[in-house]
Structure 1
Amino acid sequence: MTDDPSSSAGSDDGITSDEKPRSSGDDSNGSQAENESDGEAERSLTLAAFHDACQQEGRPVLTAGGVARALEYPHSAVTEQLEALEAAGDVESLSVSTDPVVWYPSELEDLTDRERVVVFPKRREIVVDRPEQFTRAQLSQFAHLADTNGENGYRYEVRPEDVWQAPHDSFDGLARTMRQALGQRSDALEDWVESQWDRARQFRLVTHEEGYTVLEAQSAEIMGNVARQKLDEEHVHAPISETEDWVREGSEAAIKRTLYEAGYPVQDQRELAAGEELSIELQVRLRDYQRTWVDRFAEAGEGVFVGPPGSGKTVAAMGAMAHVGGETLILVPSRDLARQWNEELLAQTSLEPEQIGQYHGGQKNVRPVTIATYQIAGMDRHRSLFDDREWGLVVFDECQHVPSDVYRRSTHLQSRHRLGLSASPIREDDRQTEIFTLVGPPIGTDWEALFEDGFVAEPELEIRYVPWGDDEQQNAYGSADGREKYRIAARNRGKVDDVRYLLSAHPDSKALVFVDYLKQGRAIAEAVDAPFLSGETPHAERRRLLEEFRRNERELLVVSRVGDEGIDLPTADLAIIASGLGGSRRQGTQRAGRTMRPAGGALVYVLATRGTREEDFARKQLQHLGRKGMTVREQNVDIET
């Protein structure tokens, strides 16, 4: 991202000439080449083209000859068109001794402040400098933000799954969006996108008039060469025709997953149970991006809302519930989250207390809107209670759990509408594609756009490299092997001093200190005189501490892994991660996300023992947050601290 993308296209990095980015002045169909047999046919000179010439020449001022050379425009027409731009106020001219006239933009800062899009078709990458909000919104419909340098430079990738889930009814609509985002037409990229668009429409699941499920293919060739090669008797009973197979009951999710992995996502158009009608009205106005999420869900009937903590995924899910207007089952990973859902539904919707039930270890009530834990919903002795009721919508909260062997048993509840919620659908076992085949395609928003619009506060992330607290631990680390090295570094007693220092440096902040080890948590809690909330904390005590934190009656909590998910701490503005760097990237997102709220001024400190494997763990765990637009800085901690 630090290199000028326009210059890299011509380097010896293996990019061929047809992969070089086109400027917005190019004509992709080659008609100009045909019409310029004498080399003098006129082409319109725009201010954008003049900027391109300045950038290509590496100078803010150019002669008419320089413009003609850079843009390969007819020299005889350039001066006249430059004079027209001057009359419009877009450029200015100045006579100098070495050349009759030089030209420059009226606003020189336009050279650095304007948006520039560079396309690499063969790599299916798009590099954008200083993109406008409109451009980023358009790109998000068919591309994935892969990287950002934190200085207005963005790198997007166009992956097959981005095309498969593009929110368009036709390829022509998607192509128009691409051209609007890129400011140009890229035939090579469009051809590839169209091929992926077609792949996503080769198979569909439908309901036969007699009630069973059928897998349909667009052609006998695709059915024979793909589906019947990948699927077996565990998935289908028998062929019905050259393009249809009779699906075994309960194997629908496995079929979708298998064909997705083969590069052919299946359109699920079954006539599934809609459940009893249930009128739900929202008591809060959705933000524009939340309304977009709900609209995209409404079009597809399924999906996963992906956004940073604090972006309002729960409220958006309630908007989806209001759209469906049917009985709803909400699956959550913990009873704490079930209670929070219950409270939010009462506060944000027209639902009455008697319409909402919770089903978990604490209470067991099945009602028109039921909130259950994944564990309970997956148990054989409870499953019939949920199977017997026809749900209009099933919501999978924290749906990154779905692919795990314990939780995926709940996905047999295949209602007409399925909705997942996740801040980070990343799995370290590379099974995240299962989330989208079992639940639905991702629906999300550019994180940095939420930061810029003030909906979510971008936290400041700092990795602090902490020295050893004593020689005993340092010597033990030197002689340890493997996982034991990590545990010793994670529990470095020097971190206790740095936690105290950071809390004293931010005396007015509401703070959370995260740990992975009970002994370390107790030591830090004692050192800072704060409660330690862990899995050993009784539910009643845990609830009391959290309520006190929410009501600003308590300013500090030390939290174990129990706080990574399923606990809403909306007013935290300081997070200190003392250990847990060997955890997943998702865990890093969850912990950093505890400070992502509209209030702003949030801080996240990640403590890593200097000179150990924790340094690499810290960088890798937060790397994907940096790619989402957050600034991550690094600091060596002095021994005196």
Structure 2
Amino acid sequence: MSGTGIILITTYSMLTHTGHRSAMAEDSLKKIEAVDWGLLVFDEVHVVPASSFRQVISRVRAHTKLGLTATLVREDKRITDLIYLIGPKLYEANWKDLEKEGFLSRVQCIEVPCPMSQKFFRSYLRADSNKKQLLYMANPTKFQVVEYLIRFHEQRKDKILCVSDNIFTLETYAIALHQPYLYGGSTQEERDAVLEDFKNNPDNLTLFISKIGDTSIDLPDANVLIQITSHFGSRRQEAQRMGRILRPKKTEGEFNAFFYTLVSQDTKEAEHAEKRMKFLVDQGYSYRTILSLEEIPLVRQAQIDYNQGISSEIPPAINSPKYQIDEDVLLSRVMNADKDDSQEEQPIYVQLKSDGGIKISQPKALSGGANLNYSGVRGKKAEASKTLIGKQAGSICKIHYQKKLKYPTSIDLPNEKAISW
């Protein structure tokens, strides 16, 4: 109507989809293309240089374009394309300034080098590239560090996210530590129930989550993130994961949020960690590499406070774990795992075609990861979830592959019955 303003909220995929559309969707798209829009706002603008999403620029006419993102980085060289696609950068808020003004939490970044055990490192030196990757991801020393950090921070009543791109490692650690976990294969009902319990149950302090937690989840009270495995050297992912604990916190002290990165020493993972570390340092964050758990500033201060009588709470003992994992059992499972288990979780997009079939594609290029040697790879033996969101022919649905478990049927835990795998 003349004189009436219009606000339209849509997605990149809706505007750039080139396959079959319903008559209603096709008609809506024609109306969008016919309008001379006053302002076109691109959220997550770092995805616009992708070959598919840049089509929005030519399809939608607008007098003014505005791009927004908290992670203006890509792992290819296309980020500079935004200069002519959208325009020059007008403003960039410094993370540390926002932190000082109370809009973001005060984060301390700590890298924990995790030496490989003798058995794991011997196997690592002899293994092929895929098996090497799984060996440094499932490093039993990482398990010991995760176990202690959970005990320490749960005693403080912190809310803890343990993140792993690799589902094999995620499931192994979560089950052995008796903690809930979510990944792409979890149903929507499971996700809702687990996230709701994590947010509102004061006794549920820890959640293991895959890369599905990197974006689009709201966990405002989470103030500890333990990064067990990551997407190689991706700076974008590092920033996104940092964002999970950046919501402002009411607690006092120099730091009120903690970002731990676990790195297997003398492996390829150490090279990737260095790139991610440089990115955080460039952003102005406090970044420390510690040689032992006693060197973690928070752990050391807790022990001092107890010794001086400032606190009556005894800090958890590092060498008295509540849960342990049998290294031989873990190594056997790693060596018997198939190629798919060494790969990280990779989301896919499914297009339902008019003839009832499906067309599957991967969004690797959306963040600049295409044609790079660390791009995610979908396992050939994976099977797609049969539950698709939406039944309209031509609609776009996002699902995740669910792996078939081919491991021993149980995992040994101390003082506990074996848990069925």
Bin for the TM-score computed over the shorter chain: 0.5 to 0.7
On the 8 A contact 2:43/2:67 being kept in 1, the answer is yes
On the 8 A contact 1:581/1:618 being kept in 2, the answer is no
Alignment of 1:495-574 (within 5 A): 495-507=142-154, 508-552=157-201, 554-574=204-224
Matched, 1:461 2:109: yes
CA distance in 1, matches of 2:67, 2:213: 20
CA drift at 1:532:
1.6
**Corresponding residue for residue 407 of structure 1:** 53
**Corresponding residue for residue 631 of structure 1:** 286
Pair 492,540 (structure 1): closer, same or farther in 2 beyond 3 Å: same
Q: Deviations over 1:45-104 (max 9, x none)?
A: xxxxxxxxxxxxxxxxxxxxxxxxxxxxxxxxxxxxxxxxxxxxxxxxxxxxxxxxxxxx
On the 8 A contact 2:180/2:208 being kept in 1, the answer is yes
CA distance in 1, matches of 2:240, 2:172: 23
Pairing partner for 1:432 from 79, 97, 106: 79
CA drift at 1:387:
4.1
Structure 2 unaligned residues grouped into runs of 5+: 250-254, 294-317, 322-421
On the 8 A contact 1:574/1:595 being kept in 2, the answer is yes
Pair 558,404 (structure 1): closer, same or farther in 2 beyond 3 Å: same
Pairing partner for 1:441 from 58, 73, 88: 88
> Which of 391-400 and 609-618 deviates more?
391-400
CA drift at 1:603:
0.3
CA distance in 2, matches of 1:404, 1:562: 20
On the 8 A contact 1:465/1:610 being kept in 2, the answer is yes
| Matched AA of 2:186 | T
Pair 418,471 (structure 1): closer, same or farther in 2 beyond 3 Å: same
Pair 446,481 (structure 1): closer, same or farther in 2 beyond 3 Å: same
**Corresponding residue for residue 610 of structure 1:** 265
CA distance in 1, matches of 2:292, 2:167: 25
CA distance in 1, matches of 2:216, 2:65: 20
CA drift at 1:420:
2.4
On the 8 A contact 1:467/1:637 being kept in 2, the answer is no
CA distance in 1, matches of 2:188, 2:83: 33
Pair 461,394 (structure 1): closer, same or farther in 2 beyond 3 Å: same
| Matched AA of 1:451 | E
CA distance in 1, matches of 2:277, 2:198: 26
CA drift at 1:525:
1.5
On the 8 A contact 2:114/2:142 being kept in 1, the answer is yes
| Matched AA of 2:257 | A
On the 8 A contact 1:466/1:637 being kept in 2, the answer is no
CA distance in 2, matches of 1:619, 1:532: 28
- TM-score, normalised via structure 1 length: 0.40
| Matched AA of 2:122 | N
Alignment RMSD (CA, Å): 2.6
Structure 1 unaligned residues grouped into runs of 5+: 1-274, 279-325, 330-369
Pair 394,543 (structure 1): closer, same or farther in 2 beyond 3 Å: farther
CA drift at 1:595:
1.2
| Matched AA of 1:476 | S
CA distance in 2, matches of 1:505, 1:526: 19
On the 8 A contact 1:378/1:409 being kept in 2, the answer is yes
Pairing partner for 2:44 from 373, 394, 398: 398
Q: Which has the larger radius of gyration?
A: 1
On the 8 A contact 1:328/1:395 being kept in 2, the answer is no
CA drift at 1:620:
1.2
Pairing partner for 2:239 from 553, 577, 589: 589
CA distance in 1, matches of 2:2, 2:221: 38
CA drift at 1:527:
2.4
Alignment of 1:76-225 (within 5 A): none
**Corresponding residue for residue 294 of structure 1:** none
Pair 611,550 (structure 1): closer, same or farther in 2 beyond 3 Å: same
Q: Deviations over 1:127-152 (max 9, x none)?
A: xxxxxxxxxxxxxxxxxxxxxxxxxx
Alignment of 1:291-370 (within 5 A): 326-329=5-8, 370=9
Percent identical pairs in the alignment equals 32
**Corresponding residue for residue 576 of structure 1:** 226
On the 8 A contact 2:111/2:290 being kept in 1, the answer is yes
| Matched AA of 2:104 | V
Pairing partner for 1:619 from 274, 283, 293: 274
| Matched AA of 1:473 | F
CA distance in 2, matches of 1:393, 1:533: 38
Pair 505,388 (structure 1): closer, same or farther in 2 beyond 3 Å: same
CA distance in 1, matches of 2:80, 2:211: 25
CA distance in 2, matches of 1:512, 1:616: 24
On the 8 A contact 1:531/1:558 being kept in 2, the answer is yes
CA distance in 2, matches of 1:384, 1:477: 57
RCO higher in structure (CA 8 A, sep ≥6): 2
3-state DSSP class of the match of 2:62?
A: coil
Q: Deviations over 1:508-566 (max 9, x none)?
A: 11111110111111112212322222111223332333333333554222111111122
CA distance in 2, matches of 1:413, 1:472: 58
On the 8 A contact 1:490/1:580 being kept in 2, the answer is no
**Corresponding residue for residue 255 of structure 1:** none
3-state DSSP class of the match of 1:415?
A: strand
Pair 452,440 (structure 1): closer, same or farther in 2 beyond 3 Å: same
Q: In the comparison of the two structures, how many residue pairs are matched?
A: 278
On the 8 A contact 1:377/1:383 being kept in 2, the answer is no
**Corresponding residue for residue 388 of structure 2:** none
**Corresponding residue for residue 343 of structure 2:** none
| Matched AA of 2:48 | V
**Corresponding residue for residue 29 of structure 2:** 386
Q: Deviations over 1:112-141 (max 9, x none)?
A: xxxxxxxxxxxxxxxxxxxxxxxxxxxxxx
Pair 409,451 (structure 1): closer, same or farther in 2 beyond 3 Å: same
On the 8 A contact 1:426/1:432 being kept in 2, the answer is yes
| Matched AA of 2:28 | L
CA distance in 1, matches of 2:242, 2:123: 30
On the 8 A contact 2:45/2:67 being kept in 1, the answer is yes
CA distance in 1, matches of 2:29, 2:201: 39
On the 8 A contact 1:377/1:386 being kept in 2, the answer is yes
CA drift at 1:401:
1.7
CA drift at 1:605:
0.3
CA distance in 2, matches of 1:377, 1:451: 36
| Matched AA of 2:278 | Q
CA drift at 1:631:
0.8
**Corresponding residue for residue 450 of structure 1:** 98
On the 8 A contact 1:456/1:597 being kept in 2, the answer is yes
| Matched AA of 1:537 | S
